[in-house]
Amino acid sequence: MVNVEICIGSACYVKGSSQVVNDLNALIKEKGWEDKIAVKGSFCMKACQNHIGLGIRINGRQIEGVTAQNAREILDRELSAALA
């Protein structure tokens, strides 16, 4: 099981983290990953303070440079690699 945490803190919410949750859920459905990926919300993981984009972790590893615009592409790439 691959664990994805998405920050639902206020700085990330303002930058579109709820849209990222929707995009991720759509991606999981499209790819048939429902049994392979667990999505959880997280409190602030300091990505905002470190200016590295939205707070997203995959199996505990912080993913840098994620925005609401590129999230789908990055998550597709990272999750495909994590599941390979």
What residues make contact with ligand FES under the rule CB under 6 A?
7, 9-12, 44-48, 55
Nearer to ligand FES, 9 or 37 (CB): 9
What would the two tokens of residue 58 be? 């995959």
Nearer to ligand FES, 13 or 83 (CB): 13
- Helix axis angle for 17-31 and 71-83, nearest 10°, is 40
Nearer to ligand FES, 70 or 80 (CB): 70
**Residue in the shown chain whose Cβ atom is closest to ligand FES:** 9
Measure the CA dihedral 47/60/27/72, to 10°.
Answer: 30
